[in-house]
Amino acid sequence: MQIENKRAVITGAAGGIGQAIAALYASAGARVFLVDRDAARLESVIAELGAGHTDQVHGIALDVTREEAVARMVDEAEGALGGIDVLVTCSGAITERELEDMSLAEWREIMGANLDAVFLACRAVFPIMKRQGSGRIITVSSQIGQRGAPRFTHYAASKAGVIGFTKALAREAAPHGILVNSVAPGPVLTSFNRDLRAETLDGTEAALPLGRAAQPEEIAGAALLLASSPHGDVFVGQTLGPNSGDVML
């Protein structure tokens, strides 16, 4: 899978899946620009991946739900890398709440973190990729956006929105040589779900056809496939589902 010397921006890069994607891309020879709002964790990831390869790994700590911050992210990434070939939108948030108890503020917070951030990042890199005549955009959605889940109406709606956004942008972008696709993981063993109810997490793995949740590294391969050539060259508007069988399409 050819990705060597590709210039990739990865948001949410200090999280489990984002870090795994960054590590896989870097090991495959890509130059990466890592973004996360957790400055301490991001600094640790950059130091780990950039050890001995400081010209290969760059990054900045900022909030990708803020329009001005995303503009800065793209300016900094383009300056550090000389262009942007790949964007992976891996940042996000999750909470658990019954609909009747959900405030508008909580709804908007999840929409902002999971959908607005994707829109802002894609809109910001799109002109760069158009000028280059090529690019790959990989959104990270969720199997909950495909099947829904009780107490996650806001999260499901945001991730379903990411999938719909991905399909629409894929049709808009393909004539410019830009391929847009999504990865929709199922349950993954990271700290992302640490604040969910114990009863939600209990039995989740056993209910999966595979009988277990995924490790972050098992999700990263799908993002590598979609960024690579020639193996990813004809994926347009697709949603790949490394979800342990939770959703079968």
Distance from the Cα of residue 25 to its chain's centroid? 13
Instruction: Kindly report, residue by residue over 190-224, the tens digit of the pLDDT.
Output: 877 777 777 777 778 888 999 999 999 999 999 99
For residue 199, the model assigns a pLDDT of: 72
Q: Are 186 and 214 in contact (CB under 8 A)?
A: yes
For residue 198, the model assigns a pLDDT of: 73
For residue 190, the model assigns a pLDDT of: 85
Q: Are 32 and 25 in contact (CB under 8 A)?
A: yes
Q: Which residues participate in catalysis according to the annotation?
A: 155
For residue 170, the model assigns a pLDDT of: 98
> Where along the chain do its domains lie?
7-240
For the entire predicted model, the pTM comes to 0.95
For residue 66, the model assigns a pLDDT of: 98
Q: What is the CA radius of gyration of the chain?
A: 17
CATH classification for the domain delimited by 7-240, as one of 1.10.10.1100, 3.40.50.720, 1.10.540.10, 3.40.50.10790:
3.40.50.720
Q: Are 179 and 217 in contact (CB under 8 A)?
A: no
For residue 196, the model assigns a pLDDT of: 74
For residue 51, the model assigns a pLDDT of: 85
Sign of CA dihedral 54, 39, 48, 189: negative
Encoded amino acid at 68, one letter? E
Continuous segment of H or E residues that includes residue 205 = helix 204-207
Positions in the chain short of pLDDT 70: none
For residue 193, the model assigns a pLDDT of: 75
Average pLDDT, whole number, for the chain?
95
